[in-house]
Amino acid sequence: MIGTVSKLELDGRFDAYQAQGTKVWLKEEVEKMSGQGVKANILVDMSKVTFIDSAGLSALVVGIKKAREHGGTLHLFGLQQAVQIIFELSWLDKAFPIYITEDEATKAFNS
């Protein structure tokens, strides 16, 4: 099962500059996995992200919606406090499955 998870590592300021490329990558990855007949499960390592704005959130929202369309989902892990606060304030901590460690986030795909 673990072999069918795609992992994305983000770092620094996750804003409009990074968001566009990330959005494209997420969409293509989901379609590729779906084309190979596997669930589009995506793991996003947020541990190096120091800041996220609405464009960054938007890319992740597009990612999770796309993954869900194709029978998978998107898990986030390792959120720094500043980023965690943004997720809480925007209620997105309830829309995204968020985990502390990579191990937890990976295992959660099986449950």
Partner 1 sequence: MNQTWVLNRKTKVYLESLGENWLKAGADSFGFRINGRTVYCIRSESYRDRASAKPTQEVIQTQQSIGLSNEFSSVAELLSISSRVRLGDSQNGTLFVDGLDGLTHQKRLDLDANFFGDTQQLQSDVDSISDELVEKQDQLVTLYQLSQTMRRHLEIQPLFSSLIVTLQSLFHSQGLFTLVSSGGLSPIVSAYPDNSLLDGNIIRALQEMHQEKESTIFNETDFEKIENLLFLPLHVKDPFQASFVFVNKLDGQFTTPDLKLAQLIGEQISAQFEYVQLHQELLNKAKLQAEADMARNVQMQLLPTTPPAIAGLDLFAQSKPASQVGGDFYVFLPDAPLPQFVLGDVSGKGMPAALLMTMLRSSFQSAARVNHNLDQLTADVLNDANRSMYGDFTAVEMFATAIVAAFDLETRELSYSNAGHSPVIYCPAGGNPEILPANGPAMGVVDMDVAGHDSIKLHPDDLFIICTDGFVEVWNEDGEMYGYDRLLELVSSIRHYSAMEIAIEMYMAIEEFSGTREQDDDQTLIVTKGVDHESK
Position 94 contacts partner 1 (CB under 8 A):
yes
Position 90 contacts partner 1 (CB under 8 A):
yes
What's the rounded Cα separation, in Å, for the pair 23 and 68?
Answer: 15
Q: In terms of CB distance, is 38 or 95 closer to partner 1?
A: 95
Q: In the chain, what is the straight-line distance between the N-terminal and C-terminal CA atoms, in Å?
A: 11
Position 76 contacts partner 1 (CB under 8 A):
no
Q: In terms of CB distance, is 76 or 106 closer to partner 1?
A: 76
Q: DSSP class of residue 71?
A: T
In angstroms, the Cα distances linking 60 to 1, 36, 85 are 23, 22, 16
Q: Which residues here bind partner 1, judged by CB under 8 A?
A: 16, 23, 51, 53-55, 57-58, 61-62, 65, 86, 88-92, 94-95
